[in-house]
Structure formats: structure tokens, C-alpha cells
Amino acid sequence: MAAGGEFVDGWVVAQVLGEGAYGEVRLLVHAASGASVALKAVRAGAGEAEAREAALHRALRHPHVLRCLGARRHGALHYLFLEFAQGGELFDRIEPDRGMPAPLARRLARQLLAGLRYLHARGVAHRDLKPENLLLDAHDRLKISDFGLATLFRVRARERLLARVCGTLPYAAPEVLTAPARPYRAPPADVWAAALVLLAMLAGELPWERAAADDARFAAWRAGDAAAGVWRKAGAALPLLRAALCADPARRASLDAVLAHRWLAADAPDAPADGHHWSSQPLPAGAGAACPALSAADMDAALSYSQPAHADDLLLTPADAPAAGARAPLVRRLTRVWLRCDARAALDALAAVLTAQRCAWRRLHPSIVAIECGGGLCMRAWALPVAARGGEARALLEFRRSRGCGLAFKRRYERLRDALLAAAPPAPPPPHAHALLAPLHALAPRAPDPMDTMGTSSDDLMN
């Protein structure tokens, strides 16, 4: 699926939004109107897993669950059309080793748990909750995404036990790691993962590599030692985390008990924490709503229509490129570096920094670099020229995780950013940097088909 080509009439495949163990998500933009949806491409397996994911996801309608608008199969690929979450990934908001302010973490945790309560009420277990699978829309509302490992654990009021080891190792509950020898209940396992997402938001780090007896930090936690390290950063949320991270699933706090905890009740009701409001789609139907067949109105409601916030703050291609045509929104990311040079010079400076830091890299396209940092961490850097007053050359370098832990990615990004700003002249971001648009042809460089290089994350358990 090469970038820059029409996928269906009028819709053009633009830049990569994210990658995972099974596939890739790209931005799909209507060339005439600028409407945007996300397109998830997954290699079709021998079974019906992709069709089950699409059927399950399309039945879900909740403000804190990413909408699935439809699906189609073409050759060896299965495509899902998804609501475009312009706010980016949750992990991008988490500062390594520092986390985020407690009021923001509390608000996002409430939204995560509200979405999870809806899923469990529908009998759906997510089984892979982590910051990388939690998105934010343009109004900073959290959306649970990626239902590739989701399953029905209850049908017609009858609950079944699960026996598959799956998910992401640091977020997997102890009982998940001992399956299939001892099948487990699905809801407590999701509560465990959600609690670790909250801890990551508060502390900017995870407490252990795996919740097993051979992990010294987990063994210390299970023995009652929460006096040092990551747990000090939890602050007043520590009692909630003790209840939700009880190793015995039969004694672990239920989802309703976690939602009723007094720490989560502070600062209610929910409201955007940073005061920003961006043009985006309206809220989908609320919790408990019936799930009729998808209509044209549903599709229109989940499309994102974005307009420039300020004419001088648009990302531009070179001066001789046409200015007319649709402009597509850029996902809000905190992993950007603004430099006072052109895009070519910015990539040259990045190449020198990568070589100095002993990172393997290669050019996928004149404006895109693939980077391997070791330890299973991979990322891509993308250079765009920026419109600036007075004709001064400016460039934006945007970094995006391809594989590996989101927190490890943020740590490596900070090292690269600091080295770049020391080696090249920095530039201030434009006043409306949270609402940037770019010409569609700038977002869709023709590059090798990324599906050809799809791999499996070392952090994922896929037994």
C-alpha cells in the first residue's frame, strides 16, 4: 500500500500514524474536502481473526472507545476504517521518569475506566491495555483502540474463563502469565493493566518487567514493599493502586470499586486540562446506546474536518509546489524538533547525531529516516519544511515510534532532541503548533510499502 495513491475514489493514503505487531495505521484523506479517517491495514491470516476484530469493534459505541466505521478485504490485506484521533497517542503525553500532573492523569484514568466499564458491560475484554493503545482525540478525550486481541468473555450472561497468554509483558496480570495451565477471569486482568497505565501516567516508568515471582521488583511489591522508587511518585493514588494491583485476582478491586475510589472522584467532572480545543468530530453515541447498522450519518459524524488555525502557521512544501488542494491535519505530537534550517539540512544534522549515538539508520525516502536504537526500539523521523515570515528556512523534524516501549522511545527522543538542538540552530514553534495542517501531497511521499517490513514487537506475547 504505497503512500500517495488513491485507496478508493477521492480518498488518498497519507502519512503513517502508527505501527503494531500485526499491521499499520495510515491517515486517509479526501482530496477534495480534507475529511480524514484512519486506515488500519492488517495482513490477513489463515483464520478469521481479522473479520472477528472488525465485527466486534464495529458493534462498540462509546465516547471513550475509538469508532470503527467499516472494514474491507483486498488481496492479502484486511482494512479497518477508524475514527481519526488527532490528539495522538497517550504515551506521547507521559514524560519519562516524571509522568504527568496528577489532575491530568486522574481525568484520563477516569475516561479509560469509563470506556473499560462499557466494554465489560458488553462482555468484551480488551486484553492489551497500554499507553500505546490509548489515543486522544482533538479535544483531549481518551479513546481505547486496537481490538486485535479483544475477545468476548460473556455471552447471554454466561461468563467463560480465558486460557490464552496474550498482551504486552509489563502490563500482563500474574494470572495471565500462568495460563493456560490455570484459566483466568477477564475483567480483573483488564483492571490490572489499567492500573499500570495509571501508574505510568503518574510516575513515567513501570514498576517491573513482568508480574512473576522471578522478577525481583514484582516480588518486593507482592511482599508489601512500596516505600521507594516508582511507588513514591504515585502519591495519594497509592492506596488505589494497592487495591487494583493485588496479585490475587479474587481479592483485586473490581472495576466499579476502582471507579468509586475517592482519589478518582477528585476534580470531577471531566474537562480538558490544558484549555486547548481543536476542530474535530462530535462525540459518538453515549454508553448503553443500542448499536444499529452503520449509516452514512455515522460515517459523517466520525470524519475529522480541519481548517487552518492561522494562515501563517501551515506546513508547506517547497515554494514551487502548488498551494491549492486539500490540506490534512497533523497528529498532535510532543516528539517534534523545530530547527532554523531547511528540511535537507535538518536530516543531515539528524544523521550526524544518530551516528554519534551509534543508532543504525537508513533513508526510506528523501524526507523519512528509519532508526534502530537497539533493545527492540525502532522509530522513524520525518522532515517537513515550514512556512516562516521573511522567507527564513525552517524545518520540522517529527519522531514517531515504530516498535518497542513508548517510554523507552520518549527517553531516546529526548537524547536525540538535546543533541540536535546543540548541533543545529533551534527555531521556536509557530503560535498554533497544536493545530498544524500540511498540503496533502506533502504528507504522502512515495516510499516502499511499509507492510513489506511488518514485524512483531518483542514486547508482545503472541502465543
Residue 168 and residue 30 in one domain: no
User: Among 201-205, 354-358, 388-392, where is mean pLDDT lowest?
Assistant: 388-392
Residue 124 and residue 151 in one domain: yes
Position 289 confidence tier, pLDDT thresholds 50, 70, 90: very low
Closest residue by Cα to residue 58 from 43, 80, 74: 80
Phi, psi of 388 (to 5 degrees): -140, 145
Any domain includes 192: yes
The CATH number that applies at residue 141 is: 1.10.510.10
Q: What's the confidence (pLDDT) of residue 267?
A: 73
Residue 78 and residue 183 in one domain: no
Residue 80 and residue 177 in one domain: no
Closest residue by Cα to residue 190 from 167, 207, 210, 165: 167
The amino acid at residue 318 is P
**Predicted structure pTM score:** 0.80
Residue 61 and residue 99 in one domain: no
Residue 73 and residue 14 in one domain: yes
Any domain includes 77: yes
Any domain includes 459: no
The answer to whether residue 283 scores a pLDDT higher than 70 is no
Residue 233 and residue 103 in one domain: yes
Give residue-wise pLDDT tens across range 176-222. Answer: 999 989 999 999 999 999 999 999 999 999 999 999 999 999 999 99
The CATH number that applies at residue 65 is: 3.30.200.20
Any domain includes 155: yes
Q: What's the confidence (pLDDT) of residue 61?
A: 95
Q: List Cβ neighbours of 130 (8 Å cut-off, separation of 6 or more).
A: 168, 171, 193, 196, 197, 406
Any domain includes 139: yes
Domain extent at residue 209? 88-265
Residue 168 and residue 43 in one domain: no
Closest residue by Cα to residue 71 from 299, 228, 237, 343: 299
7 compared with 91, residue with greater pLDDT? 91
Instruction: With beta carbons less than 8 A apart as the criterion, state whether 82 and 72 touch.
Output: no
DSSP characters for 67-90?
PEEEEEEETTEEEEEE---TTEEG
359 compared with 453, residue with greater pLDDT? 359
Any domain includes 37: yes
How many domains is the chain built from?
Answer: 3
Residue 175 and residue 317 in one domain: no
The CATH number that applies at residue 357 is: 3.30.310.80
Spatial distance between the Cα atoms of 405 and 390, rounded to a whole number of angstroms: 41
Residue 326 and residue 423 in one domain: yes
Residue 164 and residue 231 in one domain: yes
Q: What's the confidence (pLDDT) of residue 378?
A: 92
Position 97 confidence tier, pLDDT thresholds 50, 70, 90: very high
Q: What's the confidence (pLDDT) of residue 18?
A: 75
40 is in an annotated binding site: yes
- The cell 503494531 sits on which residue? 20
33 compared with 317, residue with greater pLDDT? 33
Any domain includes 124: yes
Any domain includes 421: yes
Give the residue numbers marked as catalytic. 128
Q: List Cβ neighbours of 102 (8 Å cut-off, separation of 6 or more).
A: 202, 235, 236, 237
Give residue-wise pLDDT tens across range 218-252. Answer: 999 999 887 778 999 999 999 999 999 999 999 99
Residue 22 and residue 119 in one domain: no
Give residue-wise pLDDT tens across range 306-344. Answer: 333 333 333 433 333 344 455 666 677 889 999 999 889
Q: What's the confidence (pLDDT) of residue 140?
A: 92
**Mean of pLDDT over the chain:** 79
- Name the domain boundary from 273, 302, 331: 302
The answer to whether residue 367 scores a pLDDT higher than 70 is yes
